[in-house]
Amino acid sequence: MDKQIKLLEDKEQLIKQALDICLGKIQKGITERSQFTIALAGGNTPRPLYESIATQNLAWDKIHVFWGDERYVAPDHPDSNQRMARQAWLDRVPIPPTNIHPMETGAGDPEADALSHDAHLREFFQVSIGEFPSFDLILLGMGGDGHTASLFPHTNALKVSDRLITVGNKDGQPRLTFTVPLINQARCVIFLAAGADKQAALDQVFAKKGDEMNYPSRLIQPQGELQWLLTGVNI
């Protein structure tokens, strides 16, 4: 694993750096494999990045967009990660609708929807049970408790190793999430973290020794590149 940690001057510089990396990865993926697969982070930090990507003139027909996690709400709910990314980016570009792969949350049963998205990924990447596909790029945020995607401290989702998608749990609220092994199979993972409220968790995540169950972001050790883009913290 190639790990890089970059401390940027402010949020604007962090987003600019993230855009530069994303554009480079998109170019590389399309050149090498004629397609690019990206999984998006939810939350607030990545929104300006998505707005910046939407201004670019890209080979949209070769770009496939997924989500690393999703709140278990309708796609038009204010908390929906899908809704945020569509508003900030996907509704603004001529990307084929079939290139957008949201985590469905309509079954009224998180486990059923998790299994269905798991099957969708296996079909798209042509991988069988026990195999993990490599996304070209997975974007992640980190919460002040050290969670990432919807892998929250001391939850069962942290231990799932035989699935691509599982059900996460935030204070009793179900979420759908990529599993640790799926994230770690990525060619490149970028964490975007901004603000002093992340400092305590970052100290624990970057410490030589620590409790992965308490700080799940420690579990993200991808076989490819790992880049942390930070601002508003000391490292």
**Which residues would be at the binding site for ligand 6PG (CB under 6 A)?**
41-45, 69, 81, 141-143, 147-150
Helix spans in 34-178 (H): 47-53, 81-88, 110-125
Q: Is 134 exposed, middle or buried (0-12, 13-18, 19+ CB in 10 A)?
A: middle
13 neighbors 229 (Cβ within 8 angstroms): no
Kindly report the backbone phi and psi dihedral angles of residue 145, in degrees, each rounded to the nearest multiple of 5, phi listed first: -100, 5
DSSP 81-105: HHHHHHHHTGGGS---GGGEE----
The CB-of-194 to ligand 6PG minimum distance in angstroms stands at: 7
The CB-of-126 to ligand 6PG minimum distance in angstroms stands at: 27
The CB-of-142 to ligand 6PG minimum distance in angstroms stands at: 6
Token code pair at residue 85: 């990314």
Task: Give CA–CA dist 28/19, Å, rounded.
Answer: 14
Nearer to ligand 6PG, 43 or 75 (CB): 43
The CB-of-149 to ligand 6PG minimum distance in angstroms stands at: 5
DSSP-based three-state secondary structure for 176: strand
Q: Is 11 exposed, middle or buried (0-12, 13-18, 19+ CB in 10 A)?
A: middle
The CB-of-153 to ligand 6PG minimum distance in angstroms stands at: 12
The CB-of-69 to ligand 6PG minimum distance in angstroms stands at: 5
Token code pair at residue 109: 């049963």
| CB-closest chain residue to ligand 6PG | 141
